[in-house]
């Protein structure tokens, strides 16, 4: 399978605990995005990386959230001191940076990690 | 702020009929648009895209129309099938930045 993969698919945690999610993008893609999606809503942008560099962060990304992409391949999203309002689907997507290939910009999504904070 | 929205939150169609899902966008600088399909418990799946220098693009059973004058995007699905039942999102992109998604339209295909 050469698509975007995410792990775990489901996570249940207690309020106050830390959680970490992983995303493996399509191998030739150098851009990686994190989105959050709540029930009945469209995905909301959180942050994105081009290679190792985190180029943009949404105001939705509070100081309890941190994302890394240390080697420019997989990425992790950590949420510290989880709150019930953090319950959502966390989606990862990847794409090629504009100008690098003929099929630029299109973001391909992984299956998501559903987080439930009790 | 700029946003993408949908006119109809739900749409029910008979199997075999054509479906039209509409989307209004407000950022006139957006140059790239994608329609995604999302089934329950899954991530959004790319359906078709269109750039701002085009008015129409066709795929297999799907057509996207872009009207830049009124900032309107539509997705047409021909001969709708039960497997088309899902939530459909339009998303806009401004020169390679992150996508802004609308709230989605749920398409229900009736037997």
Considering only CB atoms, A108 lies closest to which of B42, B46, B102, namely B46
**Rounded average pLDDT per 10-residue block, chain A, 118 residues:** 89 98 93 92 91 88 93 94 96 78 71 96
Listed residue (B42, B12, B24, B31) closest to B93, CA to CA: B31
Between positions 20 and 59 of A, the ones with CB within 8 A of B are 33, 40-45, 48, 56, 58
pLDDT digit string, tens, across residues B35-57: 999 998 899 999 999 999 999 99
Tell me the CA distances in angstroms from A7 to A11, A46, B44, B76, B89, one per residue in order: 9, 18, 16, 34, 24
**Residues B9-36, mean pLDDT to the nearest whole number:** 92
pLDDT digit string, tens, across residues B51-98: 999 999 999 999 999 999 999 999 999 999 999 999 999 999 876 567
Q: Is-contact A2 A94, C-beta < 8 A?
A: no
Measured in whole angstroms, the distance separating CA B102 from the mean position of its chain's CA atoms is: 9
Paired sense of beta strands B100-101 and B86-93, if any = antiparallel
- Rounded CA gap, A23 and A92, in Å? 6
Calculated CA dihedral for residues A89, B95, B20, A33, nearest 10 degrees: -10
The gap between the terminal CA atoms of chain A, to the nearest Å, is 33
Between positions 26 and 85 of B, the ones with CB within 8 A of A are 32, 34, 36, 41-46, 49
Contacts of A58 in chain B (CB under 8 A): 98
Q: Mutation target for B interface from A45, A61, A90, A105: give the one with most B CBs within 10 A.
A: A105
Give the pLDDT confidence score for residue A26 in this predicted structure.
93
């Amino acid at each position: 399978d050469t698509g975007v993969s995410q792990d775990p698919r489901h996570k249940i945690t207690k309020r106050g605990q830390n959680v970490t999610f992983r995303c493996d993008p399509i191998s030739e893609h150098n851009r990686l995005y994190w989105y959050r999606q709540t029930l009945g809503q469209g995905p909301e942008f959180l942050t994105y990386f081009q290679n190792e560099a985190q180029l943009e962060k949404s105001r939705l990304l509070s100081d309890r959230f941190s994302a890394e992409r240390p080697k420019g391949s997989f990425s992790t999203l950590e949420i510290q001191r989880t709150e019930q309002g953090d319950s959502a689907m966390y989606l990862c997507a990847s794409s090629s940076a504009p100008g690098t290939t003929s099929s630029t910009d299109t973001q391909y999504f992984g299956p998501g990690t559903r987080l439930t904070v009790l | 702020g700029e946003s993408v929205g949908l006119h109809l939150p739900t749409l029910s169609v008979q199997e075999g009929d054509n479906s039209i899902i509409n989307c209004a966008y407000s950022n006139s600088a957006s140059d790239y648009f994608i329609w995604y399909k999302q089934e329950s418990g899954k991530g959004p799946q790319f359906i078709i895209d269109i750039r701002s220098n085009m008015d129409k693009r066709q795929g297999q059973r799907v057509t996207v129309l872009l009207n830049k004058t009124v900032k309107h995007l539509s997705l047409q699905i021909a001969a709708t099938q039960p497997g088309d039942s899902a939530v459909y999102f339009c998303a806009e992109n401004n020169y390679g930045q992150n996508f802004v998604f609308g709230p989605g339209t749920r398409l229900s295909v009736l037997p």
